[in-house]
Structure 1
Amino acid sequence: MNRKKGKSKKTGKKYPLLSFIFKAGVVLFLLGCLFFILVFLGVLGPVPSKTQLHQINNPLASEVYSVDGKILGRYYVENRSYVSFDEISPNVINALVATEDSRFYEHRGIDEIALARVLFKSIILRNDAAGGGSTISQQIAKNLFPRVDYGPLSMPVNKLREAIIAYRLERIYNKQEILALYLNTVPFAENTFGIEVAAERFFSKSPKSLDVHEAAVLVGMLKANNYYNPRTHPERALGRRNVVIDLMVKNNYLNAADAAKYKEKPLGMHYRLISYNQGPAPYFLERLKPELLEWCEDNVNENGQPYNLYTDGLKITTSIDYNLQRYAQQSVKEYMKNLQTVFDNHWKSRDIFREKPEVLKSAIQNLNTSGDSYADELKKYSAKTHASLFTWDGVENMEVSRLDSLKHYLKMLNAGFIAIDPHTSHLKAWVGGIDYRFFKYDHVTAPRQTGSTFKPFVYLAALEEDISADTYFVNQYKVYEEYKDWAPRNSHNEYGGYYSMKGALAKSLNTVSVDVLLEAGIDETIDIARDLGISADLPDYPSLALGVASVSLKEMVEAFAGIVNDGKPVKANYLLQIADKNGKVLETFNYDLPYEPVVSPENCRAVINMMEAVVDGGTGRGIRTVYKIPGDFAGKTGTTQNNSDGWFIGLTPELVTGCWVGADDPRVHFRTTTYGQGAYMALPIVGKFFYKTYHDKKFEHLQYSTFPDPEPELLAMLNEPEYKEVLDIEKHGFDFAGIFGKKENENLKDRPDVKAEEKEKGQLWKKIKGIFSKKDK
């Protein structure tokens, strides 16, 4: 026994290194097991359980869709969307597997061979081209459960944690689900998450439609998303794309001949930025947001919690038509760019702020939050600062003083445009301004003086008060003594002759419109406007006929839509359906439309007939002569005092549109009516919109829709000559004695709208409204 003991000691002394290695190995193994257990149990940081992985709830952007299923924008914390495996092109799947995890279909979340390769090539041989050892499943774990800083232990703890999560994921989800999960969570360039948003942004396509070379660009971006951004670094992106294509050949997803063909293709990027406030309908999304937030508060998800608009991936369908919205936005931008150039040249030789110092002063005072005096506040505006300024040639980054920046924006003209289906009340297009990034104020809902666009309601009120459609009114300058000697003028300062209501509306005569208002009754006219949905304050004064009231573009277009809808009020509706992230419908919105008209359908048709004359030969004739818009079309121009606001309302049987143009401060405007009138400022945008719409095969049928005609007797009255230089009283067969009898003269004597000197000249018959109706039709 002593010999055995001695031999043992001798052996230990003979191989001390082996003994140390063995003991160290046992210790390391035990420490490794302990380390694994600590990570596995979540002692060194939370590791999601199988149950939690079953309920992966990544923040998903809620998406707003047009009625034709196209994306309008998103509300999000992270710009992320979700698509199923079947909605992703095989080209994307093949490129991803070939590039990121070539043995994906062979392992169960951890690729031991890849890890060994990385250990040997990357660490021992220092070969950076060896690639990574993380599987797609491990990358999902990293994306879904971000790494935590544990000091010196950060890398081993996070790597082991990701391996455990990856293994659990592979036991819960099949390979297709893993791939879809990865492609929905991986970050691409420009703060986009997921293949759907990336495909949409860089190629304006759905993930299912991506070709090989396009898929290779997006997958190649994953190596370093901003470095290989195809928009900012096209050459790098092209080189990386070709590397991905080569890897697809290497892993038998593509043959060499096809690969050569795809590598010859250009980058082919079709960039389209759709985010919360930079898509085709940013003002509309801002309008919609409060209603959606209220809906979320009132509805709970499967966990019993109120829905979160920014993280729950709701799918919201609206009535907006994608193409109509696009045409509206294009029309606004195209024309406003040209109009701004005209405006700048118009003021080129004069300083608008020297002539109107109160504009700048009030703007600075409105921005003053310090309480300092205007003089002290003005001094703060002299220092230069770096700023990004909106221009029609793109955003300009420059060193500029705050004062110059303020002047730049005060001189900028803006616009609003809206389109409504008058029969369904569905909103079809909404453009609240020229660029939401710089101009947040929505001009669709902003109240502005309406000018002559209010006149059709005056004429409708007259018809409702039984004033005959073939009544003629004298076009003369007059002073209304009862209203503090107020004297309305026509915009062209031309007077004389007699106009039918149709002719007066076509020429937008202020003098006749005031007479018609007083005949119909101011209160009665206000009631008509109220019944058709105008809620703004309407002054009880004759100038109401000239559009001194401030009304929003939205309310004006809704009221005109009510006229097209045969007198049944129209209130724009736009929210159709809300579904959850999986497409399950949560609520469908049905709107009760009024069945009873608030004004006579016949009289509505008569007013539309009058407004057709506006377009066919009146102030709105540019629709026909310049933009060549065919088919039934009615409209009304509007210009306010000092040319501050330009309006045009354009009506077709199936679509009612409206446009307003002006500066945010009404004191900033054209100096002449030549440029400041609605026919010059606003009509062209409507004209461009319908030109684009009617040249779209989807909508070309709209030009063949027709307005219903009034009844034959009323139509005959409307077809009377719109203008007469003199009236043949005898031809009308009136009883002169009855007309100019004592009683009638006494009544006329007290009327405030007849000048005394005209009474003395014996022209009392010109003031009798309604007596010139033709009796021998």
Structure 2
Amino acid sequence: MAKKTPAKNINYFEKYIRWFWILFSSGILFIILIFLLASWGVFGEMPDHTVLENPKTNLATEIISSDAKTLGKFYFNDNRTPVDYDELPQHLVDALIATEDARYHSHSGIDTRGTLRAILTLGNGGGASTISQQLAKQLFHGEGSKNTLGRITQKVKEWIIAIRLERQYTKEEIIAQYFNIYDFLNNADGIRSAARIYFGKEPSELDLKEASMLVGMFKNSSLYNPRVRPELTKNRRNVVLAQMAKYDYITEKVKDSVQQLELDLNYSPESHREGIATYFREYLRDFIKKWIEDNPKPDGTKYNLYSDGLKIYTTIDSRMQQYAEDAVQQHMPRLQAEFFHQNTPQRNPTAPFLELTVGAIDTLMKRSMKQSERWRKMKYDLKKSDDEIIASFNKPTEMTIFSWEGEIDTIMKPWDSMRYYKSFLHPGMMSMDPQTGHVKAWVGGMNYKHFQYDHVKTSKRQVGSTFKPFVYATAIDQLHYSPCDELPDTPFCIEKYKYGNPEEWCPKNSSDEYGGVRTLKNALANSVNTVTARLIDKVGPQPVIDLAEKLGVTTEIPPVPSIALGTTDLSVYEMVGAYSAFANKGVYTKPVMVMSIEDKNGAILYQFTPETRDVLSDEAAYITVKLLEGVTQYGSGVRLRTKGADEYRAEYREIITGYPYQFTNPIAGKTGTTQNQSDGWFMGMVPNLVTGVWVGAEERAAHFASITYGQGASMALPIWAIYMRSCYEDEDLNISKEDFVAPKELSINVDCSKSGELLEDNKGEIQETPDELEF
């Protein structure tokens, strides 16, 4: 007979069972209560449905070229531009899932299996955070708490938010958000910035090696920083590749092969002072700020240029912009080398200045000192006295200075660095489609990091002979002159007080050679001052000024005859806009740089409206163009047509005055050289592209001593030629090589047999002579 279990033991067992279920149920209820309290915001604010639908992240404003390339961004701290899931390559997504959340597609925000493993092993078996949880932390919590209770409550909040995110978004949308939110360091916020900064690519272009490196950085981007710890980062990348092989995303053979490869970074920092079109981007910043002031959001608040994720669609063509910058980079170091050669202390004791006394140079330098950023900061930010500031300019200081061979770390007095920078020649260049007004390239200088002053729109310098076409166009429009009409090339004076002239004005040809007659085409091609003076005397200064204003020149021009020779200071921007009307059949089209602005959701906020006006008759514009063609056929721009080389200093002949351009297509243009060779200009036109180039030093007293290098044909024309050669080689740009289109009815003769002949005293290539500006 079986022995009965004592009733007392049964009661104890039942008691234990009861207490187990009470404790178990209490634990479950406690966990539920914790989750409820957390969801109610007891442990801190929780995002509601609206916030989850539109999580607040700072998005950089993106500047987009006409060929759909990113030129740059505006941002303060977050250089973030989001991408959609379909812009991510599959191996990038696979690498993330294999490394961070292998069961991503089988859970709803919380990986129960991984969580239990983490609890049982006290975290030694690996973390249990899902991609959704990590996104929740990135979006709404940031850094973790340092105490145990805080970590627990934060983890609970992450679980709740993760579940809500899974309900709110698809799995693909969550992955895209996670890639977009992460900070990869070095201003690489989000996967798009990271791909561009570390590899110079768009995310869709990342290969397996690159994708696995970026995914490896998710563990700790500060620790796995490829620029600081490349070997450690490479090891982490190889762990990612091993995880991908483990979960059959790649084969063992592929894993072994890729693990042997180096990181192969193509570090391309995205900062406001680096990259492409830096001067244009700075102009654009001011443009958008003004637009923001006048165009508030529907709720009355203002857009934030640095965090609202605006998209600015510009007219700049990234290819043409690069060609323009490359042209400057090719020509300017060579020109600068010659300038340095001519301005050594042995050859020029007042280098880099000419015709200035020591006292005048000291005055100039002191003026520059008080205009400097260093003076402004010390005077107004640090409240230093003038004596203290002046003393600081004479104290040796560690600094990094610009050179064409690369930046130089040195110790130098700020005063000496100022004088060093006065030696540099600067470029300004703008290229525009004359029919649409679309600005295709904008180079405001040679290095924005060291020289912030823009030489396209802000800077205005004497334009020299490039102003003469306005005089000729006025004469053609009013007096119906033909390119074949002749005027005497003899000394000529405009009497005192005529046109308000304070003194009798007798401009000279710089060669002091006169005689005979010249056709208008020959006279403009060779920048003959006496002929231009005769023309402005026939039409008067005011009609020329009126024409310039209609052509978009906003600078005030004094109504005196000397303007005919280019005494006025104008910008490259004004000159290109004005010349474009000649190529556009007499119709002025205002230059445009911004086509449209969109918000982060793609809604159009601004749409460009073209501004045009008729300025000249089709016939007058065409005849002016035919005159300007003479400049490149046999005038001061003839080196565009030849492969000659002048017999100047042999070591620089090939790189400075050698010109193997050999253009054969129709080109209308005009060189310009101001008195003392302070400014060199070239304005060049083909039917669908007008480009202006200026070169000169910051101070007009710093210039070449002779016309050999100091003329527009040597200083500015080579930049135009190198740029155009690159544009023509890129057939996708469709830059015209055709003739300028003639009007259907042409009443003025342009085909005269002698219009292309040179006078007997002008043989070979014509060197432009500086314009005589004295009264």
> In 2, distance between residues paired with 1:639 and 1:530?
22
Larger gyration radius, structure 1 or structure 2: 1
Aligned to 2:59: 60
Distance 1:249 1:655, change over 3 A: same
The amino acid that maps onto 1:601 is D
Aligned to 1:475: 489
> In 2, distance between residues paired with 1:227 and 1:645?
52
Aligned to 2:155: 159
Which digits, 9 at most, give the CA deviation of each residue in 1:163-186, with x for residues without a partner? 222122112112111101111111
Aligned to 1:771: none
**Contact 1:467–1:520 at 8 Å: present in 2 too?**
no
1:40-439 map, 5 Å: 40-77=39-76, 78-119=78-119, 131-147=126-142, 152=147, 153-231=149-227, 233-299=229-295, 305-349=301-345, 350=348, 351-352=351-352, 355=358, 356-367=361-372, 368=375, 370=379, 377-439=389-451
1:509-520 map, 5 Å: 509-520=528-539
TM-score normalised by structure 2 residue count: 0.84
The amino acid that maps onto 2:40 is L
**Contact 1:148–1:154 at 8 Å: present in 2 too?**
no
> In 1, distance between residues paired with 2:39 and 2:129?
18
Question: Is it true that 1:551 corresponds to 2:570 in the alignment?
Answer: yes
> In 2, distance between residues paired with 1:145 and 1:20?
39
Distance 1:291 1:364, change over 3 A: closer
Aligned to 2:479: 466
Q: Compute the displacement of 1:431 (Å).
A: 1.4
**Contact 1:320–1:428 at 8 Å: present in 2 too?**
yes
Which digits, 9 at most, give the CA deviation of each residue in 1:84-118, with x for residues without a partner? 11121111100111112222122222223334444
The amino acid that maps onto 1:591 is P
> In 1, distance between residues paired with 2:256 and 2:597?
46
Q: Which stretch has the larger CA shift, 260-269 or 653-662? A: 260-269
The amino acid that maps onto 1:176 is E
Aligned with 1:636 (options 667, 670, 674) = 670
> In 2, distance between residues paired with 1:41 and 1:485?
90
The amino acid that maps onto 1:416 is G
Q: Compute the displacement of 1:352 (Å).
A: 3.0
Which SS does the other structure have where 1:393 is aligned?
A: coil
> In 2, distance between residues paired with 1:304 and 1:372?
42
Aligned to 2:709: 675
Aligned to 1:711: 746
Q: Compute the displacement of 1:405 (Å).
A: 2.5
Which SS does the other structure have where 2:727 is aligned?
A: helix
**Contact 1:420–1:428 at 8 Å: present in 2 too?**
yes
Which digits, 9 at most, give the CA deviation of each residue in 1:21-73, with x for residues without a partner? 99999999888676555433223321112332012232211212111211112
Identical-pair percentage = 38
Which digits, 9 at most, give the CA deviation of each residue in 1:636-662, with x for residues without a partner? 111112222111101010000001111
Distance 1:104 1:661, change over 3 A: same
**Contact 1:66–1:317 at 8 Å: present in 2 too?**
yes
The amino acid that maps onto 1:82 is P
Which digits, 9 at most, give the CA deviation of each residue in 1:580-608, with x for residues without a partner? 323344443232533xx322221221121
Q: Compute the displacement of 1:288 (Å).
A: 2.4
Aligned to 1:685: 719
1:591-630 map, 5 Å: 591-594=610-613, 597-625=614-642, 626=659, 627-630=661-664
Which digits, 9 at most, give the CA deviation of each residue in 1:230-255, with x for residues without a partner? 45554444333322222111111111
How many residues in Structure 1 have an aligned counterpart in Structure 2?
A: 711
Distance 1:403 1:121, change over 3 A: farther
Which SS does the other structure have where 2:619 is aligned?
A: helix
Distance 1:83 1:372, change over 3 A: closer
Which SS does the other structure have where 1:399 is aligned?
A: strand
Distance 1:665 1:288, change over 3 A: same
1:465-614 map, 5 Å: 465-466=478-479, 468-469=481-482, 470-477=484-491, 482=496, 484-594=503-613, 597-614=614-631
Which digits, 9 at most, give the CA deviation of each residue in 1:317-336, with x for residues without a partner? 12221211111122122222
Q: Compute the displacement of 1:570 (Å).
A: 2.1
**Contact 2:541–2:559 at 8 Å: present in 1 too?**
yes
**Contact 1:606–1:718 at 8 Å: present in 2 too?**
no
The amino acid that maps onto 1:641 is Q
**Contact 2:589–2:611 at 8 Å: present in 1 too?**
no
**Contact 2:95–2:240 at 8 Å: present in 1 too?**
yes
Q: Compute the displacement of 1:396 (Å).
A: 3.1
Which SS does the other structure have where 1:533 is aligned?
A: coil
Distance 1:166 1:304, change over 3 A: farther
Aligned to 2:755: 720
Q: Compute the displacement of 1:414 (Å).
A: 1.6
The amino acid that maps onto 1:141 is A
**Contact 2:585–2:622 at 8 Å: present in 1 too?**
yes
TM-score normalised by structure 1 residue count: 0.84
Which SS does the other structure have where 1:167 is aligned?
A: helix
Q: Which stretch has the larger CA shift, 148-157 or 604-613? A: 148-157
The amino acid that maps onto 1:61 is A
Distance 1:286 1:715, change over 3 A: same
Distance 1:263 1:700, change over 3 A: farther
Which SS does the other structure have where 2:371 is aligned?
A: helix
**Contact 2:492–2:533 at 8 Å: present in 1 too?**
no
Which digits, 9 at most, give the CA deviation of each residue in 1:128-171, with x for residues without a partner? xx543322112112221233686634433333322222122112
Which digits, 9 at most, give the CA deviation of each residue in 1:456-491, with x for residues without a partner? 111111212316323323334456552535443334
Aligned to 2:685: 651
- RMSD between aligned residues: 3.4
> In 1, distance between residues paired with 2:49 and 2:696?
60
> In 1, distance between residues paired with 2:505 and 2:543?
21
Q: Compute the displacement of 1:415 (Å).
A: 1.4
> In 2, distance between residues paired with 1:652 and 1:723?
24
> In 2, distance between residues paired with 1:288 and 1:158?
43
> In 2, distance between residues paired with 1:161 and 1:721?
84
The amino acid that maps onto 2:750 is L
> In 1, distance between residues paired with 2:397 and 2:28?
62
- Structure 2 unaligned blocks of 5 or more: 1-7, 643-658, 762-775
**Contact 1:72–1:274 at 8 Å: present in 2 too?**
no
**Contact 1:500–1:722 at 8 Å: present in 2 too?**
no
The amino acid that maps onto 1:136 is I
Which SS does the other structure have where 2:44 is aligned?
A: coil
> In 2, distance between residues paired with 1:138 and 1:149?
13
> In 1, distance between residues paired with 2:687 and 2:145?
69
Q: Which stretch has the larger CA shift, 26-35 or 577-586? A: 26-35
